[in-house]
Amino acid sequence: MAEFSRSRHWLGSRRLTLLAAILLFVVGLLVLGAKPDDLKPSEGGLRLAGEFLKAAFQPALDYESGDLPATAPPFWEKVGRSLLLTLRYAVVAMSMALGAGVLLGVLGSRAWWPVFNRRSSSGRILLRVLKSTRIVVRLLATLARSVHELLWALLFITAVGTSPLAAVLAIALPYGGTLAKVFSELIDEQEASAAGVLRAGGAGSSAAFLIGIGVRAFPDLITYALYRLECAVRSSAILGFVGIPTLGYHIATAYEDGHLREIWTYLYVLLIAVLLVDQWGALVRRRLSRPRPAREAGEADDPVAELRRKRPRSPALRASLFIAAGAIVLGWMAEKQWQSSLPAERRQANLERFMHEAIPHPVREADNDWSEFGPWLKERVWPRGAVALHRTFHIGTIAILVAGCVALLAVPFAARSLGGRNPLGVPGGRERLSGLRAGFGCLLRVGALVMRSIPEYILAFLLLQVLGPTVWPLVIALALHNGGILLRLGSEVVDNRFSRAGEVLVAQGATRRGSFLGSLLPESFSRFLLLLFYRWETCIREATVLGMLGVLSLGSLIDEANTRLYYDDMLLYVLMGALLVFAGDVVSDLLRLRLKAGSLSRGATHLA
């Protein structure tokens, strides 16, 4: 009876979640005024779409324009330079973000806290200091990652001018905040029994943390850092849309010139670069999760030097370490001048002017009388700012709901554990055409890889030319990009899940879909929901910046304020977008804690 009651409780929760998602989707469509008729492109849009798709099969191997100046570099030299610049900025930015992420990730976790008497007065003071430090660090990390890298680049370029350092910092700041959050959670979720044993044996708190927790968390930290490197390559590419000469800059220029074949050349080059980074990360993950056995078995009486000689070695991991270190060094050394080419006095004057004009205009005019701040804020926020904020929220929410729904429908086909000849390792699946199903699953995985490899900003930019300035290009671009990511993450959840109930269902003759709906989905429901919230937060950031393409949202107000040199308005709208992301982060954290507490409660009830 207790099991039946708990099942009804969670069934009700899932129904409530589904109803809430449907309600948000319908309300979002009504608020945005999104009509199905807007999905039909105009005659000019259809013609452009046909020409663009036709050009995909004929990428440019040389300049499409014949009247180039004699000083123009060869086409493939131009492509190669933009690709190297894209990769270099991504690597250098990740080297900065990784250092900040490790430091802030440790400070933002509880696992490193030393053992002390919490009942003593000094212990209570130390506990307050540690808690305050953790809160401040997590707030800083959240603030840094709440602003999209494209907006950081816009702020830096506006303040000090276009420079390589502005591009690198624009990526490093949000990525450092993201790494800090994820690293702290990965560290806190590690099993701490080994650290306790080390402390009991006389080891210091630092040694116990590094050996007992740090070593356990190391593979997870490395694999996530490599995933962020893949994302950094995409982010580096889209910086071209604010004037940084990476791949995105040449894509935008080629479109303005009507050179559709050149666009596909740049897209294919970017896709290959992202795929190579993705496959490199997959190789490192496999080597870390499944290390090779030792070449020779160690003996009990072997000296330390002999045991060291016999230890397992991975040439792939060693080569990856040297490649990463070499890429970071070359990335930093290859740039001759990181700062803007403007004279130092001019850069200083620009920065002072930006800082001065970032103060609200009425406050400046009244000799820094902040009593004028309230009316100015109300005028900017209501109603225009509130409407843009509302639209940004619904664009991101609709997109992530569509992406989550599509990914959930595709996971049973894309998951390798369900797509093979023996589903969940049980010989003899009941379904026929298992080979065709496996091929379809492989096709889905490749499609998801392509969708998540193309930056959503570029997808939205191209879709706007076909569908016109409606919200649908933004929603579709976000749904495609995030759907590819959710399909990959959801498939990994299923593949890594050990489900005895699922195996029993397959053994009794259930189909793959039946085993997924009957066991794997209910058991992994909380995990799927957390992934959806994780991507929703990112989707809100992306919806904010996609408005810069001309659709009314916070991004369009930011772009308008920047064009009119209203830096106070621009900073206000950037902070409003950050506040929206911050609220989403709080909701996500509360949901994770609730689900974790519910999981522990169910586990305790089951044991009882």
Do 395 and 331 belong together in one domain? Answer: no
pLDDT given at position 545:
85
For 59-73, 77-91, 424-438, which range has the lowest pLDDT when averaged over its residues?
424-438
Do 497 and 575 belong together in one domain? Answer: yes
Do 435 and 493 belong together in one domain? Answer: yes
User: Residue range 230-246: average pLDDT?
Assistant: 88
Percent of residues, the chain, with pLDDT higher than 70: 84
Q: Which residue has the higher pLDDT, 119 or 375?
A: 375
pLDDT given at position 24:
87
Rounded Cα distance between 2 and 606, Å, is 10
Do 270 and 189 belong together in one domain? Answer: yes
Flag whether 375 is in a domain: yes
User: Residue range 448-470: average pLDDT?
Assistant: 84
Q: Could you say which of 337, 372, 393 is where a domain stops?
A: 337
Judged against a pLDDT cut of 80, whether residue 253 lies above it is answered with yes
Helix (H, G, I), strand (E, B) or coil at 63: coil
User: Residue range 90-115: average pLDDT?
Assistant: 90
Number of domains in the chain: 2
Do 375 and 333 belong together in one domain? Answer: no
pLDDT given at position 12:
46
Flag whether 386 is in a domain: yes
Do 404 and 453 belong together in one domain? Answer: yes
Judged against a pLDDT cut of 60, whether residue 8 lies above it is answered with no
Do 267 and 408 belong together in one domain? Answer: no
Q: Do 515 and 505 form a contact (C-beta atoms < 8 A)?
A: yes
Do 333 and 404 belong together in one domain? Answer: no
The whole domain housing 223 covers: 85-292+318-337
Do 154 and 278 belong together in one domain? Answer: yes
According to DSSP H, which parts of 108-257 are helical? 121-146, 149-160, 164-188, 193-200, 205-209, 215-238, 247-256
Query: Kindly report the CA angle at 45 between 28 and 265, in degrees rounded to 5?
Result: 100
**pLDDT digits 0-9 by tens, 284-335:** 877 776 666 666 665 666 676 666 666 667 777 888 889 889 999 999 998 8
Flag whether 32 is in a domain: no
Rounded Cα distance between 561 and 570, Å, is 5
- Listing DSSP states for 421-462 in one string gives SSGGG-SS-S-S-HHHHHHHHHHHHHHHHHHHHS-HHHHHHH
Flag whether 184 is in a domain: yes
**pLDDT digits 0-9 by tens, 553-600:** 888 898 888 888 888 898 999 888 888 888 877 776 676 666 655 554
Residue 442 Cα distances to 23, 142, 206, 450, angstroms: 34, 36, 46, 12
Flag whether 116 is in a domain: yes
**pLDDT digits 0-9 by tens, 153-182:** 888 888 877 888 889 999 999 999 989 988
User: Residue range 93-118: average pLDDT?
Assistant: 86
Number of residues that make up the chain: 608
Flag whether 44 is in a domain: no
Do 255 and 378 belong together in one domain? Answer: no
User: Residue range 263-288: average pLDDT?
Assistant: 86
User: Please, which pLDDT band fits residue 275 given cuts at 50, 70 and 90?
Assistant: confident
Show Cβ contacts of residue 485 under 8 Å, excluding neighbours closer than 6 positions: 448, 452, 535
Flag whether 52 is in a domain: no
Q: Could you say which of 276, 302, 337 is where a domain stops?
A: 337
**Highest mean pLDDT: which of 63-72, 306-315, 401-410?**
401-410
For 107-111, 221-225, 401-405, 586-590, which range has the lowest pLDDT when averaged over its residues?
586-590
> Does pTM surpass 0.85?
no
Do 193 and 243 belong together in one domain? Answer: yes
Flag whether 222 is in a domain: yes
User: Residue range 71-85: average pLDDT?
Assistant: 90
pLDDT given at position 552:
80
User: Please, which pLDDT band fits residue 5 given cuts at 50, 70 and 90?
Assistant: very low
In CATH, what number is assigned to the domain containing residue 278? 1.10.3720.10
Q: Could you say which of 281, 307, 337 is where a domain stops?
A: 337
Do 370 and 261 belong together in one domain? Answer: no
